[in-house]
Amino acid sequence: MRAVAGTPQQLQIMYGIEGERRLPELELPWLPGYQGATPVRIGNAASNQLQLDVYGEVMDALYQGRRGGLGALDAAFDLQRAMLDHLATIWREPDDGIWEVRGGRQHFTFSKVMAWVAFDRAVKLAEEFGLEGPVADWKAQRQQIHDDICAKAFNSNIGAFTQHYGADTLDASVLLMPLVGFLPASDPRVQGTVAAIERGLMVDGFVVRYDTRSGKDGLPPGEGAFLACSFWFVDNLTLLGRISEAERLFERLCRLCNDVGLLSEEYDPHAKRLVGNFPQAFSHIAMVNSAHNLVLSDNSLKQRAGHHSQSGSVAPSPEHSSPRPSRKAVRTRD
Q: What is the pLDDT of residues 128-173, one digit of tens each?
A: 888 888 999 999 999 999 999 999 999 999 999 999 898 888 989 9
pLDDT at 41: 86
pLDDT at 220: 54
The two beta strands, 206-207 and 225-226, are unpaired
- The CA dihedral of 80, 140, 114, 288, to the nearest 10 degrees, is 80
- Structural domains counted in the chain: 1
Is 240 part of a structural domain of the chain? yes
Is 320 part of a structural domain of the chain? yes
Is 2 part of a structural domain of the chain? no
pLDDT at 252: 93
Is 89 part of a structural domain of the chain? no
Is 95 part of a structural domain of the chain? no
Is 167 part of a structural domain of the chain? yes
pLDDT at 56: 92
Is 92 part of a structural domain of the chain? no
Report the alpha-carbon angle 328-332-186, nearest 5.
55
Instruction: Please answer whether residues 288 and 272 qualify as being in contact, where contact means their C-beta atoms are separated by less than 8 angstroms.
Output: no
Instruction: Please answer whether residues 275 and 148 qualify as being in contact, where contact means their C-beta atoms are separated by less than 8 angstroms.
Output: no
Cis-peptide into 39, omega within 30 deg = yes
Is 122 part of a structural domain of the chain? no
State the 10-residue block means of pLDDT for the chain, 334 residues long.
Answer: 78 85 89 82 82 90 85 77 92 87 85 94 89 91 94 92 90 92 91 92 86 58 80 92 92 92 88 85 92 79 60 37 35 33
How many whole angstroms separate alpha carbon 213 and alpha carbon 137?
A: 42
**Nearest one of 27, 52, 47 to 37, comparing CA atoms:** 27
What pLDDT digit, counting tens, does each position of 248-274 carry? 999 999 999 998 999 989 888 888 888
What is the domain range of residue 234?
A: 155-334
Instruction: Please answer whether residues 57 and 111 qualify as being in contact, where contact means their C-beta atoms are separated by less than 8 angstroms.
Output: no
pLDDT at 214: 61
pLDDT at 213: 58
How many whole angstroms separate alpha carbon 191 and alpha carbon 240?
A: 8
